[in-house]
Amino acid sequence: SYIVTLYEKRVDKADLPFFLGLMSHLARKGISCPLPVTAHDGEVIGTLAGRPAVIITFLEGVSLRRPTSAHCGEVGKALAALHLAGADFPMTRPNALAIDGWRKLWSAARPRAEEVEPGLAAEVDADFADFERNWPNGLPEGIIHADLFPDNVFFLGEKLSGLIDFYFACNDLYAYDVATCLNAWCFEKDFSFNLTKGTAL
């Protein structure tokens, strides 16, 4: 089975060779992810309804609403395997949602911050100053998924069956991926951190 993907404006067409090349590279290394299909003309990227389009392979599985610690353990293993498999991928792409990207987003949102909560603008400004002073340097880095939320991970029962949506993938700290997963997978509905899930991940 196959899926036809039409790309929205949020995906820069210039980034597609990186995303699709990465998926092909990871699939060859044994990572269960969609594999872009080459057309008869030798091209992977086509045009449909005036938009860039790609055919990719279909992955079996479902995303989870209530992941368990066992599921979190599977995610941690898959994330480590992805980082190792991506280590020799030759293309690079900066993380558009690293601290510089956050600064741009905050600059656009800041004028409305006081409408949300009095004092919010000053609080976030202080947080940014703290981030910029203390942002870690020298940590291991390489290819990261950067969007490994539960809706981008498929399971068959307790076993992880695939990773999807590589359209935020980039080069950055591996810790960025780990932090994203801890936030996405290990907090409960009451916003409490589940240490058992975090340890498993």
Q: Which amino acid is at 113?
A: A
- Name, in order, each residue with C-beta under 8 angstroms of 37's C-beta and a sequence gap of 6 or more: 2, 44, 54, 55, 56, 57
Question: Is the separation of the CB atoms in 65 and 129 below 8 Å?
Answer: no
pTM: 0.91
Q: What is the CATH number that goes with domain 61-94+139-200?
A: 3.90.1200.10
Domain-by-domain residue ranges, the chain?
61-94+139-200
User: Residue 53 half-sphere exposure, CB side, CA atoms within 13 Å?
Assistant: 12
pLDDT tens digits, 1-53: 899 999 988 888 999 999 999 999 999 999 999 999 998 998 999 999 989 99
